[in-house]
Structure 1
Amino acid sequence: MATIRERTNKHGKPRYTAEVRLKGYKPQTATFTRLTDAKKWIQDTESAIRDGRHFKTSEAKKHTVAEMIERYLSSAGLTKVQDEHTGLHLRRWNDEIGHMLLADVTADTLTLIKDKLLNETVRTGQKRSPTTTLRYMASLSKVFNTAVKSWGWLEDSPMRNIEKPKAAKGRVRFLDDDERERLAKACKESANPLLYPAFILALSTGMRQAETMNLYWGKAPANPPLEGAWGVVHLEQDCIILHQTKNAEKRRIPLTGLALQLLKDMGKVRRIDSPLIFPSHKDPQKPIDLKQPWLKAIAEAKITGFTWHDIRHTTASYLAMNGASLAEIAEILGHKTLQMVQRYSHLSDSHVSNVLASMNAKILGSV
C-alpha cells in the first residue's frame, strides 16, 4: 500500500511525501518537490522491497553526512588544486547537513540547499551561477555514489532524484587587437613592475591565474620545495612544467617570444629571498596579489567586461583563429576533453574550411 500526502512549504511551493507500507517491512517515506518523482519513487521502492533489494541499512542509520565526507576526503587523495574546488564544495555541504544521519537525507532536503546556493550572493555581488551550483552538486553526488558502491552505507544516492539547474552557456570574452594593445600598454606603465610580465605570460601560455601566480624558479625536484608552488620555470629548456593543475595531471608549457624574453630578463635580477616568479612585497614566500594594479590597468585601457580569467579565453580564441584544432587547444589549456573548448569552434571555421577544401581537392579533384 502506498500513499502520497501533499503539503505546502512556507514559500508556497508544494511538497509531496510518499509512503510505502508492505506487510513485514518497516514503512518507507521520502519527500519530493514533484509529484512525478514521488510516484516513481513509490514504484521503484515497492519493486525493490519485493525483490529484496530495498533497505535503509544499519550503516545509514549509524553514520552522518559529516562522517561520510570525512572518510571520502581522507581516502580520495585530492591534490591541493582539487581540494580548492571539491574540498570547498564538500565543506559547504558539511556545514549545511553534516549533522544529519545518512538515512534521513532526502531529495527534498538537498533541493532546499540547492535553491539556497543558487540564490546566494557571492563576492562579485551577483548570485551564484547555475554552473557553479552544478559543481557543488556534482562533488556531493560523487561522495554519495562512493558510499553506495564502495562502502555499502546507502542503497541509493538521494542526489539522483534532484532536478539540476541548467548550466549557462560557456562565456567567451577575448581582446581584439586594439584592446590588447591598449591593455598591454597600461600594464607596462603600471607602478607594479610584475603586472606586465604576468599579463604577457598568461596571454602567451593560456595558464590559469593560480598557475601563473604560483610559479617558481629552478630545476624541477620530485616535490616542489615551496608549499603552494604549482610549477617550475625552466629557462634552460624554454618551458614551464606545471606540477599541480586543476585536473591533477602534470603539464608542459613551451615558452617562446616575448614571454620567454621577459622571464629571462627577470631571471637575471631575481629576488634571493624567494623562489617565486611573482612574490609578494609583504611576504616573499607568498605570490603577489595583482588585483588592484590589474583593475587600474583595465580602467586606464578603457576595457569593460574583461576579467583576468578572460586572458585564458583570449589565448584560446587566438589559437583557434590561427588554425589550431580543438584538440590542440585542449592540450595547451590542460582540458581532458573537448567539451570545454567547443565554445571556440566558431572561431576556427576558416581552418575547418581549409582542411575540408584540401581533402576535396586531393581526393575528389579528379572525379
Structure 2
Amino acid sequence: MANIRKRVKKDGVPYYTVQIRLKGYEPQSATFGRLTDAKRWAASTESAIREGRHFKTTEAKKHTVAEMIERYLLSAGLTKTQDEHTGLHLRRWNEEIGYMMLSDVTADTLTLVKDKLLNETVRTGQKRSPTTALRYMASLSKVFNTAVKSWGWLEDSPMRNIEKPRAAKGRVRFLDDDERERLTKACKESLNPLLYPAFILALSTGMRQAETMNLYWGKAPANPPTEGAWGVVLLEQGCIILHKTKNTEKRRIPLTCLALQLLKDMSKVRRIDTPLVFPSHKNPLKPIDLKTPWLKAMAEAEIKGFTWHDIRHTTASYLAMNGASLAEIAEVLGHKTLQMVQRYAHLSDGHITGVVERMNNKLFGGG
C-alpha cells in the first residue's frame, strides 16, 4: 500500500513523500511538489510493481541530486565563463531539488521547476524567456546523461520525458542608414579615442565583442588568454586571425577599406607597454572596457534598444541586403550551421530572386 506524507521545506513550500510497501517487493519512494502527482505516481508504480515492470537502480537510491551536481562540477573543469552560465544553472537546480534522491526525481518534479523558472520575474522586470529556461534544462540534462552513461547512477535521464518550452525567435536589431550615420559620428567624436576604431572594426567584420577586444598586434602573445576569444592583427596580409573563438575554431577575418586604414593609423602610434590593440588605460595588459563611452555615444546619437552585440546583427543584415547568401553570412560570422543565420533570410529575398532568375535565363533564355 502507498503511504503519502506532507512535508514542508525551509522556505515554507510543501512537498509530498510517497512510500510503497508491497509484500515480496523492495520498498519504493518518491517526492513530489503536488499531491495529485504523488497520488498518480503511487497508483502507476503499484501497478508496475505487480506487473513486474518497475525497477530502480541501487545507485539511484544512494545519491542525491546535490551529490550528482557536485561530482559533475568537480570533474567538468568549467572555465570562469562557463561557470557563469552552466554553474549558475546547476546551482539553481540544486536549490530546488538538491535534497532529493535520484530515484525520486521524476519528469513531474522537473516540470514543476521548469514552470517556476518560466513564471519568475527577472531583473528586466519581465518573465524569464523560454530560451533561458531551455538553457537551464540543458545544463541539468547534461549532468543526468553523465550520471547515466559514465557513472551508472541512473538507468535513464528523467529529462527525456519533459515537454520543452518553445525557444523564442532570434532577436534581430540592426541600424538603419540614418542610425548608423548618427552613431558613427558620435563614436568618432567620443573623448575615448579607441571607441571609434573598435566600432568600425566590429561593424566591418561582424566579430563578437570579445573577439574585437582581445586582439593583439602582429603575433600571438607569450601568454595568450586561457579563457575567451582572442586573435592577432596582420596588417601586411590585410587580415585578422582569430586563434580562439566561441565555437573553438580558428577563423580568418579580411580587413578592407576604413577598418584596415584605421588599424594602420593606430599601429603607428601604438603603446609600447602592451601588445593589445585595445588596451585598458588602468591595466595595459587587459582589454579596455568601452561600456561608459559606448552608452554615452548611444545617448548622443539618440539610439535606443541597441547593444554592442547588435553591431554583429547589423553586419549580417547589411551582408544579406547586399546579396550575400546565408552560407556566406555564416562563414563571415563564424557559425557552424545555417540555423543561426536563418533570421536574416527575409533580408536576402532579392538575392534569392536574382539567383532563380539567372538559372531560368540560362535554362530557357532571358526575355
Deviations 1:123-169 (A, max 9, x none): 54544322112111111111111211222111222323434333222
- Which amino acid is 2:315 matched to? T
Distance 2:27 2:17 in 1: 16
Distance 2:3 2:180 in 1: 64
**Taking structure 1 as reference, are residues 353 and 40 closer, same or farther at Cα in structure 2, changes over 3 Å only?**
farther
Structure 2 residue matching 1:242: 3-state secondary structure:
strand
Deviations 1:154-185 (A, max 9, x none): 12223234343332222111111111111100
Structure 2 residue matching 1:243: 3-state secondary structure:
strand
Aligned to 2:337: 337
Deviations 1:40-60 (A, max 9, x none): 9976996698566721x3322
Aligned to 1:253: 253
Distance 2:35 2:353 in 1: 48
How many residue pairs get matched?
361
Aligned to 1:110: 110
Distance 2:84 2:217 in 1: 24
Instruction: Give the fraction of aligned pairs with identical amino acids, expressed as a percent.
Output: 76
Q: TM-score, normalised on structure 2?
A: 0.82
Aligned to 2:231: 232
C-alpha displacement of 1:20: 6.8
Give yes or no for contact 2:31–2:100 (8 Å, CA) kept in 1. Answer: no
Distance 2:253 2:111 in 1: 42
Distance 1:83 1:18 in 2: 35
Deviations 1:102-140 (A, max 9, x none): 334344543444344334444545443221121111111
C-alpha displacement of 1:302: 1.4
Distance 2:363 2:19 in 1: 66
Distance 2:252 2:358 in 1: 32
- Which amino acid is 1:26 matched to? P
Aligned to 1:275: 275
Q: How does 1:6-85 map to 2 (within 5 A)?
A: 23-29=24-30, 31=32, 54-55=55-56, 57-76=57-76, 82-85=82-85
Aligned to 1:191: 191
Give yes or no for contact 1:320–1:326 (8 Å, CA) kept in 2. Answer: yes
Deviations 1:81-105 (A, max 9, x none): 5444334433443454445443343
Which runs of no fewer than 5 residues in structure 2 stay unpaired?
7-13
Give yes or no for contact 1:216–1:275 (8 Å, CA) kept in 2. Answer: yes
Larger Rg: 2
Distance 2:365 2:81 in 1: 51
RMSD of aligned Cα (Å): 3.8
Structure 2 residue matching 1:282: 3-state secondary structure:
coil
**Taking structure 1 as reference, are residues 54 and 258 closer, same or farther at Cα in structure 2, changes over 3 Å only?**
farther
Aligned to 2:243: 243
C-alpha displacement of 1:347: 0.6
**Taking structure 1 as reference, are residues 62 and 18 closer, same or farther at Cα in structure 2, changes over 3 Å only?**
closer
Give yes or no for contact 1:320–1:329 (8 Å, CA) kept in 2. Answer: yes
C-alpha displacement of 1:324: 1.5
Deviations 1:302-349 (A, max 9, x none): 112211111111111111111211122222222222222111110111
Give yes or no for contact 1:37–1:161 (8 Å, CA) kept in 2. Answer: no
Q: Which moved more, 1:101-110 or 1:292-301?
A: 101-110
Distance 1:81 1:62 in 2: 32
Structure 1 residue matching 2:244: 3-state secondary structure:
coil
Pair 1:327 & 2:327 matched: yes
C-alpha displacement of 1:291: 1.6
Distance 2:38 2:240 in 1: 51
Aligned to 2:176: 176
Deviations 1:192-246 (A, max 9, x none): 111111111111121222222222334136x853454621223233322333333
Give yes or no for contact 2:31–2:38 (8 Å, CA) kept in 1. Answer: no
**Taking structure 1 as reference, are residues 268 and 87 closer, same or farther at Cα in structure 2, changes over 3 Å only?**
farther
**Taking structure 1 as reference, are residues 214 and 33 closer, same or farther at Cα in structure 2, changes over 3 Å only?**
farther
Structure 1 residue matching 2:253: 3-state secondary structure:
strand
**Taking structure 1 as reference, are residues 78 and 256 closer, same or farther at Cα in structure 2, changes over 3 Å only?**
farther
Q: TM-score, normalised on structure 1?
A: 0.82
Distance 2:212 2:302 in 1: 24
Which runs of no fewer than 5 residues in structure 1 stay unpaired?
7-13
C-alpha displacement of 1:31: 3.6
C-alpha displacement of 1:276: 2.5
Q: Which moved more, 1:61-70 or 1:163-172?
A: 61-70
Aligned to 1:10: none
**Taking structure 1 as reference, are residues 61 and 15 closer, same or farther at Cα in structure 2, changes over 3 Å only?**
closer
